[in-house]
Structure 1
Amino acid sequence: MKTTDPDTIIWRKPSGAPVACLEKIKVLNENHAELRQTVQDIMEDALLMGCSEAQIRAAMHALIDEVVPAFGEQAD
């Protein structure tokens, strides 16, 4: 089992308390699974086109680091 398997992730609020709403957890898990598949597709396409795996990984890490939310964290 991968450490980023959504079934093993405990989604947390800014306070550190776990998200308890099953619908919210379902949405987060679905988004996670979709993102995982997209990242997998990007990696495979890039490798098939002869790109460096290390460069693709660095580009994807940088992309995540550059994402800025439209609004701040919500209070508990």
Structure 2
Amino acid sequence: MDTIWKRPDGSIVACTEKIKVLRENLEELRQMAQDAFEDALLMECDENQIRTVFQDLMTGLENPYKQDR
């Protein structure tokens, strides 16, 4: 199922080029994360810990475009 991308106001992002870029970026990110995940498993790291570290990484991303109100 494809993600329906929304703006902060709830309206839908409908531009096909924007959606294409988002899909490509997510696929690249997924593949990079999969590779890193497999590497960590091969180095005998705990699967649950790897997932937690990845989740923390995503949660820690900063929005450089956020406007102070």
TM-score (norm: length of structure 2): 0.90
Please provide the CA RMSD for this pair: 1.3
Larger fraction in helix:
2
TM-score (norm: length of structure 1): 0.82
- Per-residue CA distance 1:15-60 (angstroms, 9 max, x = gap): 1111011110011010010011011001100001100010000000
Measured in 2, the distance between the counterparts of 1:18 and 1:34 equals 23
5+ long unaligned stretches in structure 1: 1-6
The aligned length equals 67
The answer on 1:44 being equivalent to 2:38 is yes
5+ long unaligned stretches in structure 2: none
Between 1 and 2, higher relative CO (CA 8 Å, sep ≥ 6) is seen in 1
Identity between Structure 1 and Structure 2 (%): 49
